[in-house]
């Protein structure tokens, strides 16, 4: 114990100055209480997000300036910006969602779809993104999550919503086919079929869990 003559209070920690008035204290006895760690960890002030944001600002500014002062085409800088945003988001998500593969797969499938579509659009719109890439992403994503679920049925709780979203991406491919936006039919047909099969299987064979998940995720 220590004693502060100014505040006239006892101090149970081994301190040199009084926590109330910051003046030196007098020793009373050698019995001290330690309730808290002396060097607790605290929130990091420079986070990964900030570093990535900083780098992204530099890269994007650099690209825009370069394309303004050279014969660069403007499309290029747009593509670079999209790629930088995609990379930044991916890195943050990999770190943040290291425990949930479903979320990772879903975000990658969706953001790669958008990115490739933008690139395709920027370079003449040959439709390779919607013809091949998006259907392929939908199949790959669905397959990946289905495989995990086959080995860990309990994980449906964690993966259900992501499986649903990726499967909807396959459905979207099918819609694009119906609207005649897609010029090569077979990848979209395969994706739509595969995704319908997955959803049908999910709701028929794992019906209780699937319905339960729907109820939880969409409760008002």
Q: Which is nearer to Zn ion, 16 or 35 (CB)?
A: 16
What sign has the CA pseudo-torsion 14, 17, 19, 25?
A: positive
Question: How many beta carbons lie within 10 A of that of residue 165, not counting itself?
Answer: 17
Other beta carbons within 10 angstroms of residue 138's beta carbon come to: 29
Q: Which is nearer to Zn ion, 6 or 152 (CB)?
A: 6
**C-alpha–C-alpha distance, residues 75 and 163, integer Å:** 34
Q: How far is the CB of 16 from another protein (least distance, A)?
A: 4
* Tokens describing residue 184: 């090569």
5, 26, 32, 54: which one binds another protein (CB under 8 A):
32
CB of 81: closest distance to another protein in angstroms? Answer: 24
151: contact with another protein by CB under 8 A = no
Return the number of the residue (42 or 180) whose C-beta is nearest another protein.
Answer: 42
Residues 198-217 that bind another protein (CB under 8 A): 212, 216-217
In angstroms, give the least distance from the CB of 16 to Zn ion. 12
Task: Tokens for 104, please give them.
Answer: 């990772």
Length of the chain in residues, anyone? Answer: 220
Work out whether 33 is an interface residue with another protein (CB under 8 A): yes
The rounded distance, in Å, linking the Cα atoms of 193 and 200 is 10
Which range binds Zn ion by CB under 5 A, 17-25, 144-152, 155-163, 201-209? 17-25
Pick the binder of another protein from 7, 107, 122, 189 (CB under 8 A).
Answer: 7
Q: Which of 156, 49, 59 has the alpha carbon at shortest distance from 94?
A: 49
**From 38-46, 71-79, 123-131, 138-146, span contacting another protein (CB under 8 A):** 38-46
Q: Does 1 bind another protein (CB under 8 A)?
A: yes
CB of 33 to Zn ion, least distance (A): 17
Nearest residue to 108 (alpha-carbon basis) of 142, 75, 132: 142
113, burial (CB in 10 Å: exposed 0-12, middle 13-18, buried 19+): buried
In sequence order, which ranges of 152-217 are alpha helices (DSSP H)? 156-178, 185-205, 207-217
Residues that bind another protein (CB under 8 A): 1, 4, 7-16, 18-22, 32-45, 95-100, 103, 154, 157-158, 212, 216-220
């Amino acid at each position: 114990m220590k004693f502060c003559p100014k505040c006239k209070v006892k101090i149970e920690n081994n301190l040199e100055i009084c926590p109330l008035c910051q003046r030196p204290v007098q020793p009373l006895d050698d019995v001290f209480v330690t309730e808290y760690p002396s060097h607790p960890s605290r929130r990091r002030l420079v986070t990964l997000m900030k570093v990535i944001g900083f780098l992204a600002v530099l890269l994007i500014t650099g690209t825009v300036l370069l394309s303004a002062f050279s014969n660069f085409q403007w499309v290029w800088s747009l593509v670079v910006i999209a790629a930088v945003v995609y990379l930044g988001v991916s890195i943050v998500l990999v770190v943040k969602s290291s425990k949930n593969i479903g979320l990772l797969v879903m975000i990658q499938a969706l953001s790669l779809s958008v990115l490739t579509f933008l690139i395709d659009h920027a370079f003449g719109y040959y439709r390779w993104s919607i013809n091949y890439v998006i259907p392929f992403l939908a199949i790959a994503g669905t397959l990946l999550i289905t495989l995990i679920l086959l080995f860990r049925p309990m994980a449906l709780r964690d993966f259900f919503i992501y499986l649903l979203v990726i499967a909807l991406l396959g459905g979207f491919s099918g819609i694009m086919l119906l609207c005649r936006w897609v010029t090569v039919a077979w990848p979209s047909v395969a994706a739509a079929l595969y995704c319908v099969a997955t959803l049908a299987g999910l709701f028929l064979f794992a019906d209780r869990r699937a319905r339960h998940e729907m109820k939880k995720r969409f409760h008002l």
